[in-house]
Amino acid sequence: MPFITAADGAQIFYKKWGSGRPVIFSHGWPLSADAWDVEMKLLADHGYCAIAHDRRGHGRSEQTWTGNDMDTYAADLAGLVDALDLTDISLVGHSTGGGEVVRYAARHGQGRVSKIVTVGAVPPIMVRSERNPEGTPIEAFDDIRANVLADRSAFWQDLALPFYGFNREGAAVSKGLIDEFWRLGMQAGLSAVYDCVAQFSETDFTEDLQNLQVPILIAHGDDDQIVPIHDSAAKAIDLVKHGTLRIYPGASHGIHGAYQAALGRDIVEFLGE
């Protein structure tokens, strides 16, 4: 399997499909690069080189004790780009991965990144504070950490329901998606998923968004129960210089079904402009 070595020696797994202009996908918590397989195939079929990595501590990457922070995630992505000598890159990030690609682009991607897509992404900041009174209370993230420590296997199964909107009345529940969410979550290391909660909830991406100089498509479902749209995409669009906000009515945080099909079409169109 292909790996790159991060600056601190950590082994970071990646996969690369197709050939052409590079598109790098960054996954959400607590998943892995496999969460992007449908979109990777779609982009490879459209003549792009689709690349996705497992964030450190997740999937097949090394389960490091240190470095489970947003700055290191962005630096790991920079190491991947450097190792593969990529230019004219498009970045696609979901949830925590949306924060990762925004930070990478703002701090490392000058001259390399041409476009960005975020999907259900955490920027600008999730946690409630005096500066962000509409945010999610810290107690919600404390509960996540407690559940991860207590019984993360059961927690991944429970979390999959609001993640994909399967707790909504009349939802067509897919046991396969629940099982896949559980499988990918169980591949991640305990310390990595625990540490990452603070990173996706408390990291402030305001300056990163303001510093972006390239076009960005901000995609978000308006029934996202994990990263509510009013405190993320609705604010992020006002902070970027060259942004397009695309709202998907009734869509959940997890990418599946009709939402996945529509998002795929919109990504292909945006990257081709």
Q: Give the residue numbers annotated as catalytic, written as ranges.
A: 95, 224, 253
DSSP for the chain, written as a single string: --EEE-TTS-EEEEEEES-SSEEEEEPPTT--GGGGHHHHHHHHHTT-EEEEEPPTTSTTS---SS--SHHHHHHHHHHHHHHHT--SEEEEEETHHHHHHHHHHHHT-TTTEEEEEEES---S--B--SS-TTSB-HHHHHHHHHHHHHHHHHHHHHHHHHHTTTTSTT----HHHHHHHHHHHHHS-HHHHHHHHHHHHH---HHHHHH--S-EEEEEETT-SSS-GGGTHHHHTTT-SSEEEEEETT--SS--HHHHHHHHHHHHHHHH-
Could you give the strand order of the β-sheet that contains 113-119, starting from the edge strand earlier in sequence?
3-5, 11-17, 49-53, 22-26, 89-94, 113-119, 216-221, 243-248
Q: Which of 55, 152, 143, 160 is nearest to 99 (CA)?
A: 55
